[in-house]
Structure 1
Amino acid sequence: MTDYLSRTVISADGLHLHYRDYPNAETTALPILCLHGLTRNSADFHDLALHLAPRFRVLAMDVRGRGLSEHDPNPENYHPGTYVADVLALLAQENISKLVVVGTSMGGLIGMALAAQNPALLAGLVLNDIGPEIDPAGLTRIKGYVGAVEPAKDWDDAIAHMKAINGHALPGLSQAQWERFARGLYHENADGRPVLAYDPAISMAVKAGDVAPPSMWALYETLSVTPVLVLRGSQSDILSTKTVQDMVQKHPDCTACTVHNRGHAPLLDEPESLAAIDAFLNHTAR
């Protein structure tokens, strides 16, 4: 028996989009929706979901073009406006009118846009290593590998690729942890060969600059009625310490937590991450 149910929602333009449902029929707390980063998928949140499942219902979405969701035949649709519409379709299907969003990187940007467009929808927003200003150094690094990773020959090769790309951000992982990390980012094709679980065409949006504008402070400042928790990896090259300080200063209900020995982005299984998220949800989702 799995720990979650696999569900599907059909987007407005007809794509089948997958999401995980970690059910909790007994809770009266608000549901939690987890949204992943640019090249990632719902598997990122499995440990966090298991941690939260005794107290909350947790949903984790595969954004279009990632994980088990269908690829978009038109790569121009890989942008935050489309992603927000997809999330709203999921929430409508589940009849959810109030929730907390946990968003890593791109997922946090989607969460910010959701909150700005629908102020009554979000009871809280967790931003995992993302904010209204993105460090150009990190963005350049991401542009360098999205859609450009060499095909893996086997699982050992896939693990080596993931270490090469993410080793600086995730020091100290064991070989078993790296294997699990890789298996969350790849799936096996019909020949048993590992294939990255995202559409390489998402790189077009990245290179065109459609992932995020240089500054989103005006968007962030519309979130004044939404409590915010911002997590920052201590070695992040995407979210600077100065940006986090400004986020706390400019928002009436924003708290911040540094996750040590992590770059972009924390895995959300670290003790600091879990403690901060637990405290935030006790404040917002009960």
Structure 2
Amino acid sequence: MRAREPDAVGYVERDGVSVGYEVFGDGEPTIVLLTSWAIVHARQWKAQVPYLARRCRVVTVEGRGNGRADRPRTPDAYADRQYVADGIAVMDAIGARQAVVGGLSLGGRHALQLAAWYPDRAAGVIAIGAALPWALPEGFEKVRDRYEGAEKLNIHYWRQDYRGFVELFMSAAFIEPHSTKQWEDGVEWGLTTDAETLALTTPAAGGAHSPTADEAEATCRRVRCPVLVIHGDQDAIVPYATGVDLARWTRGELVTVRGGGHAPPMRDPIRTNLVIGRFVERVAGGRANAPITWTRARSRARRALCGLFPDEGVGRPGASVRR
């Protein structure tokens, strides 16, 4: 049973690709939450929706490749511009001329791109652990005798043991102790898609067609609305330095999660919700924000391997790590 059922459920279709969305509440402003990489789906926002929908209209947009969205069979269908255009199509469908647009990881990238490419449609941006830019390790298509650590980010390994990759990725996303529930949710969501679909997303997500650092900076400098950047300083998926750059390039507010990993909305939902709510209120009131920091309880935060995965000893959250 969900903590908050949607008030409206719908789909938009573009070029034969259908994408689902859900609407909660009817307050102002509208908050549009975009989905991350296709390894998860829109239920990633389940801890934000009930809180934010008390005051605002909250819309979750499914991401192509998972959940209530189609899984097109060409890489071009997963380009950044397609995800952004899906978000705009949903805004049009619900009659939202403008919204505060938010996302985690690749969703954060798409939120920033939407604000840069459609400046009249974004009242503000919430970019959490935003993967802009983001590069996958080399060797995605290399055949190996065995696959260890970040080498498991490889299409041949995915075809052998897709669940094993999903479990590893979620261990990297949730480096904080006592993250078993979040890890289990992430694995469940990851298994609602498949290796071949996820592989089709990689050229745009972190491969040859993903934004370079220069392109990322240029995009961010085009953003004119207020920006909130939330980033864990122990993020093993997207380096903390990326969040620092995004805040600087957009002249935005940086909220640093000391000891935090890649997914504060899932791992620290209460504090994330309060920070988002505060930002939305200030955007609606036209007031500026001041940088803040929160610190998690002291934890055995894991080091990143190749800037993407935790170091040795990866397993379920809380597993011991060799130093």
The verdict on a shared fold, with TM-score over 0.5 as the criterion, is yes
Q: Match of 1:114?
A: 114
Structure 2 CA distance, aligned partners of 1:196 and 1:89? 26
Q: Matches of 1:241 and 1:33 in 2, distance apart?
A: 24
Match of 1:185 among 185, 190, 193: 190
Stretch of structure 1 that moved more, 162-171 or 108-117: 162-171
Which position in structure 2 is the counterpart of 1:263?
261
Q: CA deviation at 1:75?
A: 2.4
Partner of 1:226: 225
So what's the TM-score if we normalise by structure 2? 0.71
Q: Gapped runs of 5+ residues in structure 2?
A: 141-148, 286-323
SS in 1 for 2:264: coil
Q: Secondary structure at the match of 1:267?
A: helix
Q: Distance in 1 between matches of 2:244 and 2:165?
A: 34
CA-atom RMSD in angstroms: 3.2
SS at match of 1:72: coil
* Counterpart residue number, 1:145: 153
Identity of aligned residues (%): 22
| Structure 1 portions without partners, runs of 5+ | 188-194
Give the 3-state SS of the residue equivalent to 2:253 in structure 1: strand
Q: In structure 1, give the amino acid aligned to 2:114.
A: L
List per-residue Cα deviations over 1:160-187 (Å, max 9, x = no partner).
7544222243122354443333333334
Check whether the contact 1:146–1:203 (CA below 8 A) recurs between aligned residues: no
Question: Against the structure 1 CA distance between its residues 72 and 37, is the aligned structure 2 distance closer, same or farther, given a 3 Å change threshold?
Answer: same
- Give the stretch that moved more between structures: 109-118 or 258-267: 258-267
How far is the alpha carbon of 1:207 from its aligned partner?
Answer: 6.6
Aligned partners of 2:58, 2:195: CA distance in 1, in Å? 22
Amino acid at match of 1:265: A
1:97 deviation in Å? 0.5
In the TM superposition, what is the alpha-carbon distance from 1:122 to its structure 2 partner?
A: 0.8
Paired amino acid for 2:58? V
Go from structure 1 to structure 2 and tell me whether the alpha carbon gap of 1:80 and 1:248 turns closer, same or farther (over 3 Å shift). closer
- The answer to whether the 8 A contact 2:170-2:183 is kept is no
What does 1:9-28 correspond to in 2, within 5 Å?
A: 9-11=12-14, 13-22=15-24, 24-25=25-26, 27=27
Partner of 1:190: none
- State the TM-score, normalized to the length of structure 1: 0.80
Secondary structure of 1:217's counterpart equals helix
SS at match of 1:209: coil
Q: What amino acid does structure 2 have at the position aligned with 1:71?
A: R
| TM-aligned CA distance change 1:239 to 1:182, over 3 Å | closer
Once the 2 structures are TM-superposed, how far is the Cα of residue 92 of structure 1 from its aligned partner?
1.2
Amino acid at match of 1:167: S
User: After TM superposition, which residue ranges in structure 1, 4 or more long, deviate above 6 angstroms?
Assistant: 135-143
CA contact (8 A) 1:137 1:238 kept: no
Deviation at 1:243, TM superposition (A): 4.0
In structure 2, relative to structure 1, the CA distance for the partners of 1:280 and 1:245 (3 Å cut) is same
Report the AA paired with residue 15 of structure 1: V
Q: How far apart, in 1, do the equivalents of 2:138 and 2:178 lie?
A: 21
Aligned residues of 2:42 and 2:60 also touching (Cα < 8 A): yes
1:109 and 1:131 in contact (8 A); partners too: yes
Deviates more, 1:176-185 or 1:54-63: 176-185
| Contact 1:139 1:238 (8 Å CA) reproduced | no
SS in structure 2 of the partner of residue 281 of structure 1:
helix
Cα offset for 1:257? 1.0
Greater CA drift, 131-140 or 92-101: 131-140
Report the CA distance between 1:41 and its aligned residue. 1.5
